[in-house]
């Protein structure tokens, strides 16, 4: 049978572990929000290059590849933003 001090210690450690987990979740949510902001701002970070690609007439392999890659990257960015939004929403729904 556990002594009183052992029970108190176990309860304190259990509580501390939960607090650590909560704090970790809050930090991770903040990191995910920062990542979302960075991903969201990518087009403005490369606005000159994106404008250049938009002006291409796909008459050669390079221009065609650039336009195709811009489209693929845009699709990937949209998917990543949706996933990040879903994670942030779940964290928020869970109280973090």
Note the pLDDT of residue 2.
Answer: 86
Cα–Cα distance, 83 to 78 (Å, whole number): 9
Question: What confidence score (pLDDT) does residue 88 get?
Answer: 98
Structural domain including 82 reads 4-93
Please say if the pLDDT value at position 74 is more than 90.
yes
Calpha distance 23→34 (Å, rounded):
17
Identify whether the C-beta of residue 54 lies closer than 8 Å to the C-beta of residue 74. Answer: no
Residues near 64 by beta carbon (within 8 Å), at least 6 away in sequence: 58
CB 70 within 8 A of CB 50: yes
- The model's pLDDT over 35-60, given as tens digits with 9 standing for 90+, comes to 999 999 999 999 999 999 999 988 88
Predicted structure pTM score: 0.83
Residue 53: alpha-carbon gap to chain centroid:
27
Number of domains within the chain: 1
pLDDT at 7: 93
């Amino acid at each position: 049978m556990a002594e009183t001090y052992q029970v108190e210690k176990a309860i304190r450690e259990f509580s501390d572990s939960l607090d650590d987990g909560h704090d970790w979740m809050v930090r991770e949510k903040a990191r995910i929000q920062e990542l979302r902001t960075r991903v969201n701002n990518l087009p403005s970070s490369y606005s000159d290059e994106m404008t250049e690609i938009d002006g291409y007439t796909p008459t050669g392999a390079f221009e065609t590849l650039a336009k195709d890659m811009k489209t693929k990257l845009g699709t990937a960015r949209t998917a990543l933003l949706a996933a990040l939004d879903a994670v942030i929403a779940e964290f928020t729904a869970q109280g973090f």
